[in-house]
Structure 1
Amino acid sequence: MNQEALTNPRRHWTITREALAFTASVLLFPLGWRKSRKKTARAADQRTVVFIHGYLANRSSFLPLAGYLAAKGYRSQLSFEYRPGDSIEQAAIKLKHFLKNHVRGGRIDFICHSLGGLVARVYLQQLGGARRVDRCITIATPHHGTYNAYWLWTRVAQDLRPSSELLKRLADTRANAASVKFLAIGGGADRIVLPPHHAEFAESNLHFPDIGHQGLLFSPSVFRQIQQHLAG
């Protein structure tokens, strides 16, 4: 049996899994229409996980992962949301105000998908957010841009092009978030972040070769790695 015949079932399963993940995301999407007004308790010793979704998504993207982490004891959770029309820097400013008003004491850990990771980095590196945040986990975030951005002419797309001015500024200010422990998770079957290795960022990178952009949000293997990183 030749190598192509051996790899075809694996390729078909990868495509099927990503299609199922996309379908699940669409079905979950209405659950995120109603914005959450939750605030944390006033406690200095608490640790809060803040989820930051990707472009054209909402907080429903993280429902499976949030449920998993809650079962593991991470019950102080908040979801930050921004509008599709916001630029990355506008969303980061809104994130700063959100955290000021909703996290009332303790330390913060970020879990971000796709564009949300860049929103978090602008906040951490350019708006002084590293003082409040201990960990930042990015999932399928185009830290080095994506060539898919050349197909669109929106402000966000321009910022996502490799070597954009925003990405250059983030590269130049990375030391401002040196105290934050990053974990960058990427999928080898990602067709949104092109090439997939552009999701790499920190010294700590995890690569799942057979998982795509949406599939990472539904993978038990990814969930376990995130929980381990949060546990330090």
Structure 2
Amino acid sequence: MDKLTYRRNPVVLVHGIFDTGRVFDKIIPYLTQKGWSVYDLDLIPNTGHASLGTLAQQVADFVDTTFVPQQPIDLVGFSMGGIVSRYYVQRLGGIQRVQRFVTISSPHNGTWVAYCNPGLGCLQMRPDSAFLRDLNQDINMLSQINFTSIWTPYDLMILPANSSQVPVGREVIVPVMTHAWMLTDVRSLSAVTEALTQPVPAIATQQFPSSWLHTQIASKSGK
């Protein structure tokens, strides 16, 4: 049996449609106070008009320029950001460095609300889209990492709400009343914290102290 470890990694947050990284203004200090180093980025455009694959490349570029190659990370995606993050993990090599992957109210099987927007990204989030069929055909690869899907049955942005259910990993259902509150309600924040403390398989990757990592980031940016 593989040895498990409770290694704590930097956490990257990926927002949803019409949002920016500011949507995480509650969860960032919440996790920071508990000892995590937390990072977020702004996907451009955030309107659902760009391909989710294009947005996923922005996640890949952010990870590659922010962290040294040897640094494993944990990834949290909210709503559309969960699907963008899945594409990064499953198609852009993220599986090689992401150890814990958490989605919050993400339409893994599509949402009928996506029919309200004609953009390519929304087309890809419609139920039974070719994009989602492609990701779901090998969703079992997520079993290689510690994956958690957190969702609420009262979500009116993810229709049906159980679209957030997937056949791999952990499932956490929290009775939060709205989509947006999933990022502010203490029950969902607690679920994220629990997901980020799940053990991961021990790997032969050298771990660097945070001070060394920040020095490398500053060096890369020319500061």
| TM-score between both structures, scaled by the size of structure 1 | 0.76
Spell out, residue by residue over 1:124-180, the C-alpha distance to the aligned partner (whole angstroms, 9 max, x if none).
111121010001111110000001112221111110111000000001132333312
Q: Does 1:228 align with 2:194?
A: yes
- Give the equivalent residue in structure 1 for 2:172: 206
Is residue 142–residue 169 contact of structure 2 (8 Å, CA) maintained in 1?
A: no
- Pairing partner for 1:50 from 12, 30, 45: 12
Structure 1 residue matching 2:40: 3-state secondary structure:
strand
Is residue 146–residue 198 contact of structure 1 (8 Å, CA) maintained in 2?
A: yes
Structure 1 residue matching 2:25: 3-state secondary structure:
helix
Q: Does 1:88 align with 2:52?
A: yes
Is residue 77–residue 104 contact of structure 2 (8 Å, CA) maintained in 1?
A: yes
Q: Does 1:187 align with 2:148?
A: no
Q: What is the alpha-carbon distance in structure 1 between the residues aligned to residue 41 and residue 55 of structure 2? A: 10
Q: Does 1:107 align with 2:57?
A: no
Whichever structure has more helix as a proportion of its residues is 1
- The amino acid across from 1:86 in the alignment is A
| TM-score between both structures, scaled by the size of structure 2 | 0.79
Q: Does 1:67 align with 2:29?
A: yes
Q: What is the alpha-carbon distance in structure 2 between the residues aligned to residue 199 and residue 92 of structure 1? A: 19
Any gaps of 5 or more consecutive residues in structure 2?
1-6, 199-223
Q: Which has the higher contact order (CA 8 A, sep 6+)?
A: 2
Q: Does 1:169 align with 2:131?
A: no
Q: What is the alpha-carbon distance in structure 2 between the residues aligned to residue 111 and residue 141 of structure 1? A: 11
Q: Deviation at 1:183?
A: 0.8
- Give the equivalent residue in structure 2 for 1:140: 105
Spell out, residue by residue over 1:78-97, the C-alpha distance to the aligned partner (whole angstroms, 9 max, x if none).
11221124310001112111
Q: What is the alpha-carbon distance in structure 2 between the residues aligned to residue 142 and residue 188 of structure 1? A: 13
Choose 143-152 or 161-170, whichever is displaced more: 143-152
Q: What is the alpha-carbon distance in structure 1 between the residues aligned to residue 190 and residue 143 of structure 2? A: 25
When the two chains are superposed, the root-mean-square deviation of aligned CA atoms in Å is 1.5
Structure 2 residue matching 1:137: 3-state secondary structure:
strand
Structure 1 residue matching 2:107: 3-state secondary structure:
coil
Q: Number of residues paired by the alignment?
A: 187
Larger Rg: 1
